[in-house]
A and B are shown apart, each in its own frame.
Chain A
Amino acid sequence: MGVMCSIDLSLTGLLKSALELWMVFVESAWSLISKSPSTLASDAWILLRDNIWVFFKQVGSGLIPVCFLAGWLQESWDLKNDFDWQKMMLMFGRILVIEAVYSQTFTIISTFLTGVASTVSALSTGNDGESLFDLTTLKENTVATLPDVSGFSWAAIVGWLLALLSFIVALVSGIMIFYTVVARCFKIFVLIPIGALPLATIAGGKNMTRSAVAWLKEFLICSCEVLVIAVSLVIGVKFVSSGFISNALTTSSEDEFTQMIFAMLSVVFSLGIVAAFVKQADSFLRKVIV
């Protein structure tokens, strides 16, 4: 579905253009977050799977015995420590499990990412099957709150300047949302092959798994960030179109100039808050996933 973007330099036209521009970026971001990385950039995914991951897996495979022996030495170096044959058997059992799982790591990661993308698609569909991500009434509802300031007057000039500010805010916030989504996709592509190295440290026992736990946490945050972004966009669009902030920023003044300022400010706040929360999705998840 396409949203036409044309810039009309009148006050109302500028505000409509600002919202259209914002909607273009948000819609583009939405189309990205509901796809798994393998469908998003299939060439890059194939390169990752067939070349980059294979190389890092080979290096990780060489690190597994190194980490295993390092963990063994850590346990057995202190000769007073009770490192008996039962613990040794556990360590051998661990390396067997690691070896079995390590060969399937890429498949597990790929399946998990596909599952997250499917969850986003399911999240955005309401109980009646309609899409919850709805931009159709956004422009009309938002522009309807704008009072009619016409003619050449100081109010019209200030209104035009505020509309220009809204345009800039819409452009910046739209780019910020789109950039956050694209950066997250790119980050996943880089994070996956690197994971082969810290995951190999699991073979070393509990003293050496910090790297693996850190990587797993980072991967989980990066993957699930898209869920927070999806919720932010679905709810944010509803906030903007429902006039939530413009209702809060109402004034009892009947002066058109004052009403116009408040209406413009409500647009600026609405778009900015949605973009800010999408940008903070990463740090929000870091606080939740400790």
Chain B
Amino acid sequence: MNMLVMGVLGDFSTGVSELDDGLSMAISLMAGVVAFLGVYKLVIGVKNWSDANEEMDQARKSQGLNTIVSGVIMISVAAILAIFGITI
């Protein structure tokens, strides 16, 4: 799967440096914003989980855990895309 993916997207180059630079900048910028939102989600998730843990509310605890997992995925979106062969 990785070889198939690398064959498509790998280290792309359009041959036009302005395009390559522009696309790389756009990807880096958006990945940074997604990671930032991921940090926010992680913090909120941890807070919700700890509040639910104090109140012994299982439903809110699992909701908080979902938010924590979502936040971690968003923070590591660059790493996940790298697995797919998209280098940022």
B4 touches A79 (CB 8 A): no
Query: A186 contacts the other chain (Cβ, under 8 Å)?
Result: no
| B86 at the A interface (CB under 8 A) | yes
What number of A residues sit within 8 Å (CB to CB) of B?
28
Contact B66 A84 (CB under 8 A): yes
Whether the pair B34, A69 counts as a contact (CB closer than 8 A) is: yes
* Minimum CB–CB distance for A204 against chain B, Å: 11
Q: How many contacting A-B pairs (Cβ < 8 A)?
A: 81
Contact of A76 (CB < 8 Å), options: B20, B37, B81, B88: B37
Q: Cα distance A70–B4 when bound, in Å?
A: 24
**Is residue A103 contacting chain B, with contact meaning CB distance below 8 A?**
yes
Interface stretch of the complex, out of A25-33, A53-61, A265-273: A53-61
CA distance A64 to B70 in the complex (A): 22
Contact A69:B9 (CB < 8 A) given known A85-B70, A88-B73, A95-B84: no
Q: What's the Cα separation between A68 and B84 when bound, in Å? A: 12
Interface residues of B, CB < 8 Å — how many? 36
- The one of B8, B33, B69, B77 in contact with A99, judged by C-beta atoms closer than 8 angstroms, is B8
For A76, the chain B residues whose CB sits under 8 A away are 34, 37, 41, 74
- Contact call A61/B30, Cβ cutoff below 8 A: no
Residue contact A73 to B33, C-beta cutoff 8 Å: yes
A77 lies within 8 A of B37 (CB) = yes
In whole angstroms, how far apart are the Cα atoms of A96 and B81 in the complex?
Answer: 10
B20 touches A72 (CB 8 A): no
Tell me whether A103 and B69 are in contact (CB under 8 A): no
Tell me whether A288 is interfacial, beta carbon within 8 Å.
Answer: no
Cβ–Cβ < 8 Å partners of B67 in chain A: 84
Is B19 an interface position by the 8 A CB rule?
Answer: yes
Cβ of B17 under 8 Å from chain A: no
User: With A and B bound together, what is the CA distance between A65 and B22 in angstroms?
Assistant: 13
Which of B9, B23, B84 has most chain A Cβ within 10 Å? B9
User: SS class of chain A's interface: helix, strand, loop or mixed?
Assistant: helix
Q: Mark B10-26, 1 if CB is under 8 A from A, else 0.
A: 00111100011001001
Tell me the bound Cα distance from A70 to B31 in angstroms. 9
Distance A252 CA – B44 CA, assembled complex (angstroms): 91
Bound Cα distance A76, B33 (Å): 10
- The reply to whether B19 and A59 contact each other, CB–CB distance below 8 Å, is yes
Question: In the complex the two chains form, is B15's CB within 8 Å of A58's CB?
Answer: yes
Partner of B27, one of A58, A69, A77: A69
CA A58 to CA B8, docked complex, whole Å: 9
15 more A-B residue pairs beyond the given contacts A59-B19, A66-B27, A88-B70, with a C-beta to C-beta distance below 8 A: A62-B23, A65-B88, A69-B30, A70-B30, A72-B77, A73-B33, A73-B37, A76-B34, A79-B40, A83-B70, A88-B74, A96-B84, A99-B84, A99-B85, A103-B7
* Residues of chain B whose beta carbon lies under 8 Å from any beta carbon of chain A: 1, 4-5, 7-9, 12-15, 19-20, 23, 26-27, 30-31, 33-34, 37, 40-41, 44, 66-67, 69-70, 73-74, 77, 80-81, 84-86, 88
